[in-house]
Homo-oligomer: A and B are copies of this chain.
Amino acid sequence: MNQGGTMQIDELDAWWRAANYLSVGQIYLRDNPLLRRPLRREDVKERLLGHWGTTPGLNFIYAHLNRVISDHGQEMLFITGPGHGGPANVANAWLEGTYTETYSHVGRDEAGLKELFKQFSYPGGIPSHAAPETPGSINEGGELGYSLAHAYGAVFDNPDLIAACVIGDGEAETGPLAASWHSNSFLDAKHDGAVLPILHLNGYKIANPTVLSRMPEAQLEQLMRGYGYKPHFVTVTDPHATEQAHQDFAAALDTCLAGIREVQASARQEPRTGADYAPWPMIVLRSPKGWTGPATVDGKQVEGTWRAHQVPLSGVHDDDAHLHQLEEWMRSYRPEELFAEDGTLRNEVAAQAPPGDLRMSATPYANGGRLLQDLKLPAYGDHAVVVDKPGLEKVSPMLTAGGYLRDIIQLNPENFRLFGPDETASNRLQDVYEVTDKAWQQRIDDVDEHLARSGRVLEVLSEHLCQGWLEGYLLTGRHGVFNCYEAFVHIVDSMFNQHAKWLKVHQDLPWRQPIASLNYMLSSHVWQQDHNGFSHQDPGFIDHVVNKKADVIRVYLPPDANTMLAVTEHCLQTRDRVNVIVTGKQPTMTWLGPEEARLHVERGIGVWDFAGSEDPRGGEDPDVVLGCAGDVPTVEVVAAARLLKDALPALKVRVVNVVDLMRLQDESGHPHGLPARDFDTLFTLDRPVIFAYHGYPWLIHRLTYRRTNHDNIHVRGYKEEGTTTTPFDMAMLNQIDRYQLAMDVIDRVPSLRSTQAGLRQHLQDERQRAWQYTRDFGKDIDAVTGWMLEEASPDDAT
């Protein structure tokens, strides 16, 4: 223990006892919070739903971290990995005063304590996990596995910050956590802060021992060294030897802090010296599950076993012995030494809290909106492409976005990061490497390109890490984009769920400031998987996303380069959302000029007069509406409209493109929902609508089922047919190709159905011919239908 420290073991222990007392109180009591009278059954909650097991260890760690924060003025963020650790965070926040500052109805007196206890894990109260409601938390403790990735994300570009990340040994069995240890290969000791992992070996999960706690200690040490850390073991063998435990842990903490300083000092001097990749210190704390709780209950060992996981004394309502044991347990913390008569915390305990924002429950890093700076955006016009005629030239939407992101990175050198699972170049965002590198702390060889110790791009072959790092980065007040193959973003479905749920709750908490949105750029999508085939074809992430609260989620399907640019510009300015952007990486036809595109994105949906064949000034309904959403469906719809125009010049076809998918929903269903009148104007009240959609077709039905004309909407989309084949064959297999769409029009427009059997057969034949051509030679459909490029008339454009 640092001899110059201001906090002594006794005071530290008093804090710990106070936190433990408050934790037990939360689990059990609805009255008599200070035990002024002997505990009675009616003081106890009717249902006991909390969890005790992990909490005393968390409280222990928290108390010790406070000491080093106070001693060194160190900025620290506390991340609670273990499940059901909520009571600890809440107890410490109350002790630090933050809880009352945040929730004034939970005062710092006896009435406040009663309220604090009662609300916990109670209907309408607060969760038993660290959650958005918990001051000082950026990590939901319900779904396990993401604490360490969040911790790394939080310290990127925060060189003065240390994230103390408690990892439960249950959580440590998850895949995402197992991968997260390797985050140290991506953390730049010079420009980033530090993570102090504290692996907390309680020994048990719900019902089983944990792998890491039962392996021989020598093996565990090898594992941690293999992960690139220098572990410091603190082992509590005798639960009663708390003074020894305090001394051991304090010493380990001091050693780790010194170790962190050493790694940082070495990296921060010029020129950098030392190894490529210094092992970072970490702590392995082995302490009994349910430490300081009942050693045995009804003759069975509880402390130190899985039986301490939930509520160690469950019979308090019916069993006087249990009730008595609970009272003894609570009194063992000597509340009279901790709380004054009125329930306020005694000064000598309260004084152990760090000052102001250094309190981990009050740190602005855990309420990132307080630190958020707007991104400086490049000029849109510098990146937009010139479009002389719609459908004349081909540009990759992702490549266009890449140039824009390059400039974002240049303008915001410490406030923005690009995350991806080894796919940033594959997704055509490689222009970013003109101004930055990929951060990499392992050996760099001469043959490597764009690798450096510092860099704005993080690439690791783990979608979980990309997502977890980005969440940590956003929740601490910065901006970022996650680019990913569309099919494999499903790997983080569940992480998305938890982040969307976090945002929903966060939005309703007035003290939580808005944070930057989580932006997905999904490419290498379902329609462009020529060589990867079926395993890479899955557009279902959109379906997954739209199950979450409308306030939180947005889905954009830019059909070309300029719309992609405008969508990107928009999304990077939004707050508290998840924006899903799906577009192609292959060059695709440009349809809209710079300002048209921006307007189209602002509207989210619109008629493309250049593609249709109605008189835009006519004021009459068309014969048929062709809707499209997505880059490939848009090409097919425009081409279908052209086929129809050539064959049936009198037919009035309207083409409606949807870039903001939520515009399809009604106003009551989504904030971006198009008013009924506008929707009806676009899609008519009664004309057939053939809608070509990027993903699974039923989503369009779901979004539009309350619309007047819904029964006439016929949707084509991906129906899980795929293989290793050409993009055009993919369109054919799923019946979203231009010929099929044109035939659909004939089938759905009554006046054509009876008269155009010949044309239909001709289209069928042409379809077969095109398929044969593209399939035999691996050629693109454009080679068949060169007319689209050559003959597009400038007069058509609007």
Is the beta-carbon distance between B501 and A534 smaller than 8 angstroms?
Answer: yes
Q: How large is the interface on A (under 10, 10 to 19, 20 to 34, 35 or more residues)?
A: 35 or more
Is A324 an interface position by the 8 A CB rule?
Answer: no
A sample of 14 cross-chain residue pairs with beta-carbon separation below 8 angstroms, ordered by A number, consists of: A49-B530, A50-B531, A143-B535, A173-B182, A175-B176, A175-B464, A208-B451, A222-B222, A224-B226, A490-B497, A493-B494, A543-B544, A543-B547, A701-B705
**Nearest chain B CB to A728 CB, angstrom units:** 9
Which residue of B has the minimal Cβ distance to A722?
Answer: B501
Is A762 an interface position by the 8 A CB rule?
Answer: no
Mask of A536-551 contacts with B, CB within 8 angstroms, 1/0 = 1010100110011100
> Knowing that A122-B724, A175-B175, A549-B720 are A-B contacts, what are 12 other residue pairs whose CB atoms are under 8 Å apart, sorted by A's residue number?
A45-B778, A46-B777, A121-B531, A122-B778, A127-B534, A131-B535, A142-B536, A143-B536, A174-B464, A219-B225, A491-B494, A543-B543
Kindly state the separation between the CA atoms of A171 and B698 in the bound complex, as whole angstroms: 34
Is the beta-carbon distance between A775 and B142 smaller than 8 angstroms?
Answer: no
**Nearest chain B CB to A263 CB, angstrom units:** 16
Is A488 an interface position by the 8 A CB rule?
Answer: yes
**Nearest chain B CB to A318 CB, angstrom units:** 16
Is the beta-carbon distance between A175 and B535 smaller than 8 angstroms?
Answer: no
Contacts A422-B206, A544-B543: A123 and B504 contacting too (C-beta < 8 A)?
no
* B residues in contact with A226, CB < 8 Å: 219-227
* B residues in contact with A493, CB < 8 Å: 490-491, 493-494, 544
Kindly state the separation between the CA atoms of A109 and B461 in the bound complex, as whole angstroms: 40
Q: How many copies does the complex hold?
A: 2
**Nearest chain B CB to A152 CB, angstrom units:** 14
Is A436 an interface position by the 8 A CB rule?
Answer: no
Is the beta-carbon distance between A533 and B222 smaller than 8 angstroms?
Answer: no
* B residues in contact with A505, CB < 8 Å: 534
Is the beta-carbon distance between A127 and B532 smaller than 8 angstroms?
Answer: yes
Which residue of B has the minimal Cβ distance to A730?
Answer: B123
Is the beta-carbon distance between B178 and A123 smaller than 8 angstroms?
Answer: no
Kindly state the separation between the CA atoms of A2 and B601 in the bound complex, as whole angstroms: 69
- Which of A88-96, A340-348, A374-382, A423-431 lines the interface with chain B? A423-431
Which residue of B has the minimal Cβ distance to A460?
Answer: B173
Mask of A698-712 contacts with B, CB within 8 angstroms, 1/0 = 100110010000000
Is A305 an interface position by the 8 A CB rule?
Answer: yes
Kindly state the separation between the CA atoms of A536 and B144 in the bound complex, as whole angstroms: 11
Is the beta-carbon distance between A724 and B121 smaller than 8 angstroms?
Answer: yes
Kindly state the separation between the CA atoms of A535 and B548 in the bound complex, as whole angstroms: 12
* B residues in contact with A491, CB < 8 Å: 143, 493-494
Kindly state the separation between the CA atoms of A175 and B495 in the bound complex, as whole angstroms: 13
Is the beta-carbon distance between A426 and B778 smaller than 8 angstroms?
Answer: no
Contacts A207-B459, A225-B222: A729 and B124 contacting too (C-beta < 8 A)?
yes
Option from B126, B215, B465, B547 in Cβ contact (under 8 Å) with A540: B547
Is A447 an interface position by the 8 A CB rule?
Answer: yes
Kindly state the separation between the CA atoms of A543 and B176 in the bound complex, as whole angstroms: 24
Is the beta-carbon distance between B778 and A46 smaller than 8 angstroms?
Answer: yes
Which residue of B has the minimal Cβ distance to A126?
Answer: B724
Q: Is the interface of A mostly helix, strand, loop or mixed?
A: loop
Is A487 an interface position by the 8 A CB rule?
Answer: yes
Is A725 an interface position by the 8 A CB rule?
Answer: yes
**Nearest chain B CB to A555 CB, angstrom units:** 15
Is A779 an interface position by the 8 A CB rule?
Answer: yes
Option from B125, B221, B497, B724 in Cβ contact (under 8 Å) with A123: B724
Is A586 an interface position by the 8 A CB rule?
Answer: no
**Nearest chain B CB to A398 CB, angstrom units:** 15
- Which of A437-445, A557-565, A614-622, A673-681 lines the interface with chain B? A437-445
Option from B144, B488, B549, B725 in Cβ contact (under 8 Å) with A143: B488
Is the beta-carbon distance between B182 and A142 smaller than 8 angstroms?
Answer: no
* B residues in contact with A724, CB < 8 Å: 121-128
Is the beta-carbon distance between B171 and A175 smaller than 8 angstroms?
Answer: no
Is the beta-carbon distance between B175 and A142 smaller than 8 angstroms?
Answer: no
Is the beta-carbon distance between B720 and A548 smaller than 8 angstroms?
Answer: yes
Is the beta-carbon distance between B698 and A459 smaller than 8 angstroms?
Answer: no
**Nearest chain B CB to A547 CB, angstrom units:** 5
Is the beta-carbon distance between A301 and B447 smaller than 8 angstroms?
Answer: yes
* B residues in contact with A208, CB < 8 Å: 422, 438, 440, 451, 459
Is the beta-carbon distance between A179 and B185 smaller than 8 angstroms?
Answer: no
Is A352 an interface position by the 8 A CB rule?
Answer: no
Which residue of B has the minimal Cβ distance to A170?
Answer: B461
Is A769 an interface position by the 8 A CB rule?
Answer: no
Option from B125, B210, B277 in Cβ contact (under 8 Å) with A461: B210
Option from B127, B173, B540 in Cβ contact (under 8 Å) with A179: B173
Which residue of B has the minimal Cβ distance to A703?
Answer: B698
Is A129 an interface position by the 8 A CB rule?
Answer: yes
Q: Which of A112-140 contact B (CB under 8 A)?
A: 121-129, 131, 140
Is A723 an interface position by the 8 A CB rule?
Answer: yes
* B residues in contact with A498, CB < 8 Å: 535
Contacts A47-B778, A209-B448: A127 and B442 contacting too (C-beta < 8 A)?
no
* B residues in contact with A140, CB < 8 Å: 535
Contacts A173-B179, A725-B124: A209 and B778 contacting too (C-beta < 8 A)?
no
Is A193 an interface position by the 8 A CB rule?
Answer: no
Q: Which of A180-198 contact B (CB under 8 A)?
A: 180-182, 185
**Nearest chain B CB to A277 CB, angstrom units:** 7
Is A726 an interface position by the 8 A CB rule?
Answer: yes
Is the beta-carbon distance between B487 and A535 smaller than 8 angstroms?
Answer: no
**Nearest chain B CB to A709 CB, angstrom units:** 13
* B residues in contact with A490, CB < 8 Å: 493-494, 497
Kindly state the separation between the CA atoms of A438 and B211 in the bound complex, as whole angstroms: 13
Contacts A210-B461, A442-B209: A726 and B123 contacting too (C-beta < 8 A)?
yes
Is the beta-carbon distance between B175 and A461 smaller than 8 angstroms?
Answer: no
**Nearest chain B CB to A177 CB, angstrom units:** 8
Which residue of B has the minimal Cβ distance to A546?
Answer: B698
Q: Which of A747-779 contact B (CB under 8 A)?
A: 774-779
* B residues in contact with A331, CB < 8 Å: none
Option from B129, B177, B220, B426 in Cβ contact (under 8 Å) with A535: B129
Contacts A219-B226, A535-B142: A209 and B451 contacting too (C-beta < 8 A)?
yes
* B residues in contact with A178, CB < 8 Å: 175, 178-179, 181-182
Is the beta-carbon distance between A179 and B175 smaller than 8 angstroms?
Answer: yes
A-B interface, 6 closest residue pairs, ranked by CB to CB distance from nearest: A223-B226, A142-B535, A175-B175, A49-B531, A178-B178, A214-B442
* B residues in contact with A442, CB < 8 Å: 209, 211, 214-215
**Nearest chain B CB to A105 CB, angstrom units:** 17
Is A233 an interface position by the 8 A CB rule?
Answer: no
